[in-house]
Amino acid sequence: MGKVTFSRGGIHPRDCKYARECAIEELPLPKTVYVSMVQHLGAPAKPLVAPGDSVKVGQVIAEPGGFISAFIHSPVSGTVKGIAPRKNLAGDPVMHVEIAVEGDEWDPAIDRSGDLVTDIPDDKALILGRIKACGVVGLGGATFPTHVKLSPPPGKVADCLIINGSECEPFLTSDYRIMIERPKEVVVGAAIMQKVLDGCHCVIGIEENKPEAIAAIRAAVAELGYPDIRVQVLRKRYPQGGEKQLIDAVLHRQVGSGGLPIDVGAVVQNVTTSFAVYEAVQKNKPLISNILTVTGDKIPAKLQHNYLFRIGVPLSFVMEQAGGIPDTAAKIVSGGPMMGKAVSNLDATTVKGTAAVLYLSEAATRRQKESHCIRCGKCADACPMGLEPFLLNRLYKAADLEALEKNAAQDCIECGCCLYSCPAHIPLLDHIRQAKGQVMGVIRARAAAAKAAAEAKKQ
């Protein structure tokens, strides 16, 4: 089968995958880790430990705070020092459990050997239970609890599982490294999820700029011989890794406005999530570590790394271990350059979804002076959701919420293609993100009112 891609919009930013040849190294342990209680989409987790408790690696330290939430495990062994609010990446206070590191003693239930386990348990409930108990969340960016995503609501059936190995963001190489170094584990993880979804098709989508990863995964698929798993080469294009875009590229199905992938029979999981699922189900290892890339533009090769880090390690420690902050860095971003968040607080800690520490130079990051919209329509051409960013920008300024909803501001996936392509440097995304928040507020309020009215009618 030839290369495919999504049908609408998209851009071609420079690749910049400078750290692609850096093998995954294990990051040493710091003296103290701070484990955030907000590491997933949904309700914050509730701490189960108290100051003074001693914990082992992999021990549960927090339970889910709601249906959409996840368990959190201790990434180190040591003593709990305190549970207090601490500033996160954006400077907002969030509950953290502070643990002083003492040695590296693991929970004996965890299989730490490197042997590949290919026999998948037959019991679906057992698999889902393990995924939930191990606190696995989507590591592609949204950190949505994986067990919830793998349990389609009644009446809906998944007929295709898509494993997302596109890694379309420039600079990031963590998914690439895991596909090269642990291809078999990724494929077993995919097969596990395939089993949970009642043996649906499974497609592993990888962009064409990663031929080594394609070869490695293909070899693993052939060797392991699970039925109905295939690799699909994708044409390079951003934002291919967006759920709706990937479904369009692989299955040629469109997820409607306000819809979910399951509405068109698809479930999308990242390759790193697949690896985490493998470790959870086959090795009983909770999600306490992840891979992050330390890279940037115009920085020396010795500062570039792919680290296997324990969750809760402060970003400042990561940077220190990687060789310090380069002089050229004007902006430090957590995540990719397109959708990542600027780090305003270097003492913030890593969370389950941390994918990269990116140093951007002044030239690469500085915004240029905004000028007037010349109606060139480049933003509308670039928008992968088929929106009209210039129009949404004007409607936001006019505070016309009704028109914003009609023009589907709520469907924005915040990929940044409009901002990237605007020759007038208008902060389109900043404004549309605001508009989206306001429209979502209106939609939620309306849904809540409708629910209340229905309940009142019942009584």
Partner 1 sequence: MTQTVIWTVAILAVLGFLLALILFWVARRFKVEEDPRIDEVEKVMPGANCGGCGFAGCRAFADSAVKAANMDNHYCPVGGDEVMQKVASILGFTVTAKAPQVAVVRCNGSCANRPVVNDYDGAASCRVKAALYSGDTLCSFGCLGCGDCVAACQFGALSMDPETGLPVVDAQKCTACGACVKACPRHIIELRNEGPRGMREVVRCVNKDKGPVARKACAAACIGCGLCMKTCQHGAITVADNLAYIDYTKCKLCRECEAVCPTGAIHGVNFPRELDKEAVKKRIADRKNKEAANG
List residues near partner 1 by CB under 8 A: 87, 89-93, 331, 341-342, 344, 365-367, 427, 430-431, 433-434, 437
**Cα→Cα distances 317→30, 323, 350, Å:** 7, 10, 10
For residues 93 and 324, which CB has a smaller minimum distance to partner 1 in the complex? Answer: 93
For residues 19 and 315, which CB has a smaller minimum distance to partner 1 in the complex? Answer: 315
Give least dist CB 160 to partner 1, A: 35
Give least dist CB 332 to partner 1, A: 9
Q: Measured between alpha carbons, how far is 63 from 45 in angstroms, rounded to an integer?
A: 5
Range 296-299 contact pairs with CB under 8 angstroms and sequence separation of 24 or more: 296/18, 296/171, 296/326, 296/328, 296/329, 296/358, 296/359, 296/360, 296/361, 297/16, 297/18, 297/171, 297/359, 297/360, 297/361, 297/364, 298/328, 298/361, 298/364, 299/326, 299/328, 299/329, 299/359
Give least dist CB 244 to partner 1, A: 23
Give least dist CB 404 to partner 1, A: 15
The tokens for 244 are: 């709706």
For residues 260 and 346, which CB has a smaller minimum distance to partner 1 in the complex? Answer: 346
Q: Which amino acid is at 426?
A: I
| Helix 211-224 and helix 183-196, axial crossing angle in degrees, nearest 10 | 60
Q: Measured between alpha carbons, how far is 36 from 352 in angstroms, rounded to an integer?
A: 9
For residues 236 and 331, which CB has a smaller minimum distance to partner 1 in the complex? Answer: 331
For residues 89 and 319, which CB has a smaller minimum distance to partner 1 in the complex? Answer: 89
For the beta carbon of residue 139, count every other beta carbon within 10 angstroms: 26
Give least dist CB 394 to partner 1, A: 14
Give least dist CB 17 to partner 1, A: 25
Give least dist CB 92 to partner 1, A: 6
For residues 120 and 413, which CB has a smaller minimum distance to partner 1 in the complex? Answer: 413
Closest C-alpha among 128, 146, 147, 181 to residue 22: 181
For residues 223 and 430, which CB has a smaller minimum distance to partner 1 in the complex? Answer: 430
For residues 191 and 333, which CB has a smaller minimum distance to partner 1 in the complex? Answer: 333
Q: Measured between alpha carbons, how far is 144 from 90 in angstroms, rounded to an integer?
A: 20
User: Contact, 11 vs 382, CB < 8 A?
Assistant: yes
* CA 138, chain centre distance (Å): 6
Give least dist CB 432 to partner 1, A: 10
For residues 323 and 427, which CB has a smaller minimum distance to partner 1 in the complex? Answer: 427
Give least dist CB 364 to partner 1, A: 12
